[in-house]
């Protein structure tokens, strides 16, 4: 790594700017990718790493306020005009790729012009990347916004070393087939421009290889794809979390204080969930399961509170804004049906939590109910487990998350079956403390070992060893 410079490319940079009362401040963004990249040992690279992403601020703001940004990376914002970005992001990325890759095929809203905008934005990003690149750069492209980018870069820089990681599921070929053939060919060829294509689970990886065979007619052997004179490597890298951060937060004074407040406010059993507002997260089905639980087990009424936190997300897209209304109706229905004069079954919040509030909720609750209909990984489940230094609490987890592969000691449920989830909830609430501890410790050991640092360094190591830029047969 000593000879390489790392170049990260993701849709957004890890910060934006906020102007209030004419004062501009830096707003750092959290999230899995940012934590992962920032946890890398950057001193092992030759020079200061570069981070390239689309700006959600103006060139003027950047010129005036770039001094506020930390200097651990050289940040390269790309300014895309509003209309193209909308078609690229709200359009093709989030109205075609996101629903399709999460098996919501009927939510796919394909428009040729938006696909064109997606291509155009990727080409614009490629132009900027190529200007910035130096020989020996190690390029790491992230997520579904930039599927074509590896190939676009490869066409301009045939010897570049390019890694790509997909943060969401890669669906089975039956789903990929729904895309117009020119579109799916373009996307698959896009990924094949990389030297290494990484996924969270082996299923996603197999689906990708199967699509390459079926759609492109290209043979794959032992997880490799021969592309002309190159061999493209695939790999499974289940993203982890900063385990120590979540585990050690248990004793942080702000977390302790918030936790005490929660425990005082909710003396009964506390059930907790937190998700972005997204139909893939299964919030409505979770509420149905809670209703089924309260119907089936009336003895639990007035004994539990469900703290449901939903984080605003992509609310310019109709599928998202209408979801908010549906969730609010369901909360109203359940509270209207079961509330007494002194008890409300669902406490609902539509706003983010601060880090101490999030950690206090993880560590105060009796049950974390995490039931997405599909999720590439789901970091919330791992964070909950890591935060339980007291080895208490039970996890009800959807079997349709990537995380379920690593968290087998959770109570795994099918999120579509409200009765199965209700039974999982009952079992979680009644689980003896010794069993909670036994399951929790097993999960903690696993996620403490393969943490986010290991995830990132593993990917980089495999990328360094990938030989796709070397012609097949020459020196192999
Ligand atoms: C994509 C894939 C994959 C959430 N609410 C608050 C808050 N968060 C933080 C969590 C967690 C992150 O946001 C959410 O991560 P997830 O993994 O659950 O979900 P996506 O955003 O959909 O992420 C997913 C991930 O990429 C990584 O590859 O796991 O499958 O869809 O870190 O803690 N943080 C704070 N307040 C909140 O209210 N501070």
**Nearest atom (ligand 1) to Cα of 380:** 18
- Protein residue closest via CA to atom 3 of ligand 1: 377
Q: Is the CB of 168 under 6 A from ligand 1?
A: yes
Give the tokens for residue 95.
């109205």
- Would you call 220 exposed, middle or buried from its count of C-beta atoms within 10 A (0-12, 13-18, 19+)? middle
Give the mutation target among 12, 32, 450 for probing the ligand 1 site: most ligand atoms within 8 A of CB.
32
Give the mutation target among 98, 379, 384 for probing the ligand 1 site: most ligand atoms within 8 A of CB.
379
Q: Is the CB of 339 under 6 A from ligand 1?
A: no
Q: Using an 8 Å Cβ cutoff, are 101 and 175 in contact? A: yes
Output the CA 383–ligand 1 centroid distance in Å.
10
Catalytic residue, chosen from 85, 102, 167, 200, is 167
Band (pLDDT 50/70/90 cuts) for residue 21 is confident
pLDDT (average), residues 113-122? 98
Q: Is the pLDDT of residue 475 over 60?
A: no
For residues 391-427, one letter each, b for 16 or more C-beta atoms within 10 angstroms of the residue's C-beta and e for the rest, the string is eebbbbbbebbbbbebbebbbbbbbeebebbbbbbbe
* Average pLDDT value over all residues in the chain: 94
Catalytic residue, chosen from 137, 143, 366, 375, is 375
Q: Is the CB of 406 under 6 A from ligand 1?
A: no
Q: Report pLDDT digits (tens) over 74-108.
A: 999 999 999 999 999 999 999 999 999 999 999 99
Quick check: helix, strand or coil at residue 162? strand
Q: What is the largest CA-CA distance in the chain?
A: 78
Output the CA 366–ligand 1 centroid distance in Å.
21
Q: Report pLDDT digits (tens) over 178-220.
A: 999 999 999 999 999 999 999 999 999 999 999 999 999 999 9
- Would you call 226 exposed, middle or buried from its count of C-beta atoms within 10 A (0-12, 13-18, 19+)? middle
Number of H helices, E strands in the chain: 18, 17
φ, ψ of residue 127 in degrees (nearest 5): -55, -45
- Protein residue closest via CA to atom 10 of ligand 1: 380
Alpha-carbon torsion 287, 290, 292, 294, what sign?
negative
Q: Is the CB of 311 under 6 A from ligand 1?
A: yes
Q: What is the pTM of this model?
A: 0.96
pLDDT (average), residues 22-36? 82
Q: What is the pLDDT of residue 98?
A: 98
Q: Is the CB of 356 under 6 A from ligand 1?
A: no
Q: Using an 8 Å Cβ cutoff, are 161 and 371 in contact? A: no
Q: Is the CB of 30 under 6 A from ligand 1?
A: yes
Q: Is the pLDDT of residue 42 over 90?
A: no
Quick check: helix, strand or coil at residue 258? helix
Active site residue 111: no
- Would you call 159 exposed, middle or buried from its count of C-beta atoms within 10 A (0-12, 13-18, 19+)? exposed
Q: Is the pLDDT of residue 453 over 80?
A: yes
Band (pLDDT 50/70/90 cuts) for residue 470 is low
Active site residue 71: no
Q: Using an 8 Å Cβ cutoff, are 126 and 153 in contact? A: yes
Output the CA 167–ligand 1 centroid distance in Å.
11
Q: What is the pLDDT of residue 476?
A: 36
Output the CA 379–ligand 1 centroid distance in Å.
6
Virtual torsion, Cα 238, 239, 242, 248, nearest 10 deg: -50
Q: Report pLDDT digits (tens) over 147-157.
A: 999 999 999 99
Q: What is the pLDDT of residue 43?
A: 78
Band (pLDDT 50/70/90 cuts) for residue 472 is very low
**Nearest atom (ligand 1) to Cα of 376:** 30
Output the CA 378–ligand 1 centroid distance in Å.
7
Q: Is the CB of 163 under 6 A from ligand 1?
A: no
Q: Is the ipTM of this complex over 0.95?
A: yes
Band (pLDDT 50/70/90 cuts) for residue 318 is confident
Q: What is the pLDDT of residue 473?
A: 46
């Amino acid at each position: 790594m000593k000879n390489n410079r790392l170049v990260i490319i993701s849709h957004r940079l890890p910060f934006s700017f906020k102007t209030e009362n004419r004062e501009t401040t830096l707003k750092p963004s959290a999230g899995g990718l940012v934590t992962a990249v920032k946890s890398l040992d950057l001193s092992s690279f030759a020079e200061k790493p570069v981070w390239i992403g689309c700006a959600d601020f103006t060139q003027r703001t950047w010129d005036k306020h770039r001094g506020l940004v930390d200097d651990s990376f050289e940040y390269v914002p790309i300014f895309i005009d509003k209309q193209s970005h909308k078609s690229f992001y709200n359009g093709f990325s989030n109205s075609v790729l996101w629903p399709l890759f999460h098996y919501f095929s009927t939510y796919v809203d394909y428009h040729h012009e938006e696909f064109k905008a997606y291509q155009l934005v990727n080409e614009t990003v490629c132009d900027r990347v190529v200007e910035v690149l130096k020989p020996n750069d190690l390029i790491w492209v992230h997520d579904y916004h930039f599927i074509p980018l590896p190939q676009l870069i490869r066409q301009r820089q045939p010897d570049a070393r390019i890694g790509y990681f997909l943060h969401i599921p890669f669906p089975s070929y039956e789903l990929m087939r729904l895309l117009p053939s020119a579109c799916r060919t373009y996307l698959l060829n896009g990924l094949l421009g990389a030297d290494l294509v990484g996924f969270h689970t082996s299923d996603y990886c197999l689906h990708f290889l199967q699509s390459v065979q079926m759609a492109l007619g290209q043979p794959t052997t032992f997880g490799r794809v021969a592309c002309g004179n190159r061999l493209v490597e695939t790999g499974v890298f289940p993203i982890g979390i900063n385990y120590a951060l979540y585990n050690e937060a248990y004793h942080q004074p702000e977390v302790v204080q918030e936790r005490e407040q929660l425990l005082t406010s909710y003396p009964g059993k506390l059930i907790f969930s937190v998700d972005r507002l997204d139909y893939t997260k299964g919030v409505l089905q979770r509420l149905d399961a809670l209703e089924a639980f309260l119907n089936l087990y009336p003895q639990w009424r007035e004994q539990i509170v469900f703290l449901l936190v939903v984080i605003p997300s992509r609310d310019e897209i109709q599928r998202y804004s209408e979801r908010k209304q549906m969730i609010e109706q369901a909360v109203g229905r359940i509270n209207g049906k079961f509330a007494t004069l002194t008890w409300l079954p669902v406490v609902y919040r539509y706003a983010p939590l601060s880090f101490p509030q999030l950690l206090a909720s993880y560590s105060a609750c009796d049950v974390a109910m995490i039931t997405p209909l599909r999720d590439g990984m789901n970091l919330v489940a791992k964070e909950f487990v890591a935060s339980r230094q007291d080895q208490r609490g039970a996890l009800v987890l959807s079997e349709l998350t990537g995380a379920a592969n690593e968290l087998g000691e959770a109570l795994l449920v099918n999120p579509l079956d409200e009765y199965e989830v209700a039974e999982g909830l009952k079992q979680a609430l009644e689980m003896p403390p010794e069993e909670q501890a036994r399951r929790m410790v097993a999960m903690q050991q696993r996620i403490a070992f393969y943490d986010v640092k290991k995830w990132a360094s593993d990917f980089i190591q495999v990328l360094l060893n990938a030989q796709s830029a070397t012609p097949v047969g020459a020196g192999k």
